[in-house]
Structures are given as C-alpha cells and as structure tokens.
C-alpha cells in the first residue's frame, strides 16, 4: 500500500532546484536529527511512496514539487563525520542513531502551493503541516489530502 509524505528543506541549504541538479535527480535526505522523523524514514517510507518537497524558512514557504522514495531507510553517514554540520558523536556506526532515505525528483510544480494557501483551506482537517506548532521535517500526508493538494497546482 503506497503511502504519502512531506519533507521540509530550507532552499538556502538544499532546495528543489538543487535536487533537480543532482545526478539522477536523486539525493539522500540526510541531517534529520529528530526521533519521530527518524522513525518515519527508518521504518515507514517505502520505495515508490510519493513525497511532497516543501520549502521552509524562506520568502514563500510552501510545497514546490513531487518526489518518490527510491531507497528505503539506511544509516545517515553524515552523523559519523566530525567535519559534517550534522555530526553526532553519539551515533555509532555499529549502532547508528540516525537514518535517511533517498528521494528522486519527479517534477517541480509550476507554482508554489504556499503554506498560506494551505492554511486558508477548510478541507485539510488534521493535515500535519498546518497543525499548530508542528516542526517535524518529515511527516505523513493522508492520501485524500495528498491528492487534493496535487489538484491545486
């Protein structure tokens, strides 16, 4: 059963155009240091699942494109690298604390489906992204919500 997800990234760090520029338009989703998001990537995201790419911390926060999971959860090696920004000395290569998946860009949307627009809708009950105080960088999206949002483009 295919599931649907949303991942956040700051365009100043790694935006959708950066993903588009990668070989095979594919990149590993490293640097997530939150246990709930970690569990989602380690356990729940499966090959072929569809993923919204969301831009946070920018002029117009919102959903900017569509990706798919092309590799399922495996250890986030950036946690082992002391020179890496996301280095975590508590993650042991023999018992990794952090995991990631690989995502591939399917397509960039013609326009940004802004957070503002999503918040203004009354047919997205329970949508994790617009729930108060949500700071998760990886979250599940209901199939119905996913399809509804796809239709907004």
Applying CB under 7 A, among 92, 119, 144, 147 the residue interacting with DNA is 119
Tell me which residue has tokens 């989703």.
29
Q: How many CB atoms lie within 10 A of CB 45?
A: 25
Interface with DNA, residue 132, by CB under 7 A: yes
Q: Cβ of residue 95: shortest distance to DNA, in angstroms?
A: 15
Stretch that binds DNA, among 16-24, 74-82, 100-108, 127-135 (CB under 7 A): 127-135
Q: Cβ of residue 106: shortest distance to DNA, in angstroms?
A: 22
| Contacting residues for 123 by C-beta, under 8 A, at least 6 apart | 148
Interface with DNA, residue 73, by CB under 7 A: no
Tell me which residue has tokens 């604390």.
97
| CA gap 68, 45 in Å, rounded | 10
Q: Cβ of residue 34: shortest distance to DNA, in angstroms?
A: 6
Task: Map residues 37-66 to x or -, x wherever contact with DNA holds by CB under 7 A.
Answer: -------------------xxx--x-----
Applying CB under 7 A, among 128, 136, 148, 150 the residue interacting with DNA is 136
| CA gap 115, 99 in Å, rounded | 27
Applying CB under 7 A, among 18, 34, 46, 125 the residue interacting with DNA is 34
Tell me which residue has tokens 């957070």.
115
Q: How many residues bind DNA (CB under 7 A)?
A: 19
């Amino acid at each position: 059963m295919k599931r649907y997800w949303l991942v956040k990234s700051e365009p100043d760090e790694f935006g959708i155009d950066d993903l588009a520029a990668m070989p095979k338009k594919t990149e590993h989703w490293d640097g997530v240091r939150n246990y709930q998001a970690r569990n989602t990537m380690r356990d729940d995201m499966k090959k072929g699942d569809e993923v919204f790419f969301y831009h946070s911390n920018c002029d117009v926060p919102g959903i900017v494109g569509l990706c798919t999971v092309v590799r399922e959860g495996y250890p986030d090696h950036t946690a082992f690298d002391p020179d890496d920004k996301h280095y975590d000395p508590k993650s042991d290569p023999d018992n990794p604390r952090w995991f990631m998946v690989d995502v591939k860009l399917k397509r960039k949307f013609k326009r940004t489906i802004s957070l503002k627009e999503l918040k203004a809708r009354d047919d997205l009950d329970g949508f994790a992204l617009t729930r108060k105080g949500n700071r998760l960088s990886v979250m599940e999206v209901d199939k119905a919500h996913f399809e509804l949002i796809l239709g907004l483009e």
